[in-house]
Amino acid sequence: MTIEALALDPETDLVLERELNAPRELIYRCWTTPEHLVHWFVPKPHRVTACTLDVRVGGACNTTFDVDGTLMENKGVYLEVIPNEKLVFTDTYTEGWKPAAEPFMTAILTFEDIGGRTRYRAIARHRNKETAAQHKEMGFFDGWGTVADQLEAYAQTL
């Protein structure tokens, strides 16, 4: 399913789209390999301090960030995995399909080859318009945009 085929809701879905100067296989690998993800996944100077990725439907998608000395854990699972094309993960559930106490969002990422470059699309889908508005106010576009820039720069070093 392409992003165009998704029924986007402007009240609950935040969308970032970029053209990254790196092949999609490399961008996908950066998203699915802990030793790569830790280098670019949060806006600097913040950093990833722990990462567990079991890239399969139902597999763990766990990261811990250090944001100004505060550790933030993000635990979730993969819902859909199409190598080099699409990743969907959520914090609605944790490993073993255990419901999360405070779910925030589901991420839908697509990677499209455009002649050695990648059309990168990220959707942050929220359970209601209030949560989406909160994420937008937290700086979704600046934060996820910075992360996309860091991803591109890191991928180009590989």
The answer to whether 79 touches 90, Cβ cutoff 8 Å, is: yes
- Crossing angle (nearest 10°) for helices 129-138 and 140-155: 60
Separation between Cα atoms, residue 114 and residue 96, nearest integer Å: 36
Q: Domain residues of the chain, as ranges? A: 16-155
Q: What is the pLDDT along the chain (158 residues), one digit of tens a residue?
A: 444 556 888 899 999 999 999 999 999 999 999 999 999 999 999 999 999 999 999 999 999 999 999 999 999 999 999 999 999 999 999 888 999 988 899 999 999 999 999 999 999 999 999 999 999 998 899 999 999 999 999 999 99
Please, where are the H alpha helices in the chain? Answer: 24-32, 34-37, 129-138, 140-155
pLDDT at 88: 97
Which pTM does this prediction carry?
Answer: 0.91
> Exposed, middle or buried by CB within 10 Å (0-12, 13-18, 19+), for 89?
buried
What CATH class is the domain 16-155?
alpha beta
pLDDT at 5: 56
Q: How far is CA 113 from CA 23, 37, 81, 121, in A?
A: 7, 20, 17, 12
Q: How far is CA 45 from CA 56, 83, 101, in A?
A: 30, 30, 29
